[in-house]
C-alpha cells in the first residue's frame, strides 16, 4: 500500500537552512505536496511539485524530488521563528482517485534562537 515516511523532529538555529526529508512508496504519484500546520490550526498548502520535475523554488522554499529513490525534500532558507510548525509531506494516489492524499506523520520543526 501507499506509505509516506518523515522524521518526527528537526531542530535548527534561527537563520540556518532547514531541510525536511520525506520518502514515499507510490511510484505512480502525480503530485507531491508540502503542508504546514501551526499549533491548533488546520493544514496550509506550502508548495507542491509535479512528478516529472526535479526541483521547484518559491522564495525561501526549495523542493527537490528524486523520483528514482522516491525521496522528497523541503529546504527552508534563512529559517525564522515563524517557520516553527509541523510540516507534512503528502502524495496523491495513483490513478488520480478522489480519495484524498496520503500524508506522512509530520515533522516538527523547532527553531533555536
CB atoms near residue 55 (< 10 Å): 11
Query: Minimum distance from CB of 24 to other proteins (Å)?
Result: 13
Alpha helix segments (H runs only) across 2-99: none
- List interacting residues with other proteins (CB under 8 A): 8, 30-31, 33, 35, 40-45, 48, 88, 90, 92-93, 96-101, 103-106
Instruction: Return the number of the residue (52 or 68) whose C-beta is nearest other proteins.
Output: 52
Helix (H, G, I), strand (E, B) or coil at 28: coil
Alpha-carbon torsion (50, 79, 87, 12), positive or negative: positive
Nearest CB to other proteins, comparing residues 47 and 73: 47
CB 3 to other proteins: min, Å:
11
Which of residues 17 and 94 has its CB atom nearest to other proteins in the complex?
A: 94
Cell of 51: 512528478
Amino acid at each position: 500500500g501507499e506509505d509516506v515516511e518523515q522524521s518526527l523532529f528537526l531542530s535548527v538555529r534561527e537563520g540556518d537552512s532547514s531541510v525536511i526529508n520525506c520518502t514515499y512508496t507510490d511510484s505512480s504519484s502525480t503530485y507531491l505536496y508540502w503542508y504546514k500546520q501551526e499549533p491548533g490550526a488546520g493544514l496550509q498548502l506550502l508548495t507542491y511539485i509535479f512528478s516529472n520535475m526535479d526541483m521547484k523554488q518559491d522564495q525561501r522554499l526549495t523542493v527537490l524530488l528524486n523520483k528514482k529513490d522516491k525521496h522528497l525534500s523541503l529546504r527552508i532558507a534563512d529559517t525564522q521563528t515563524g517557520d516553527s510548525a509541523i510540516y507534512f509531506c503528502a502524495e496523491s494516489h495513483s490513478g488520480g482517485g478522489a480519495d484524498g492524499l496520503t500524508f506522512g506523520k509530520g515533522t516538527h520543526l523547532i527553531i533555536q534562537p
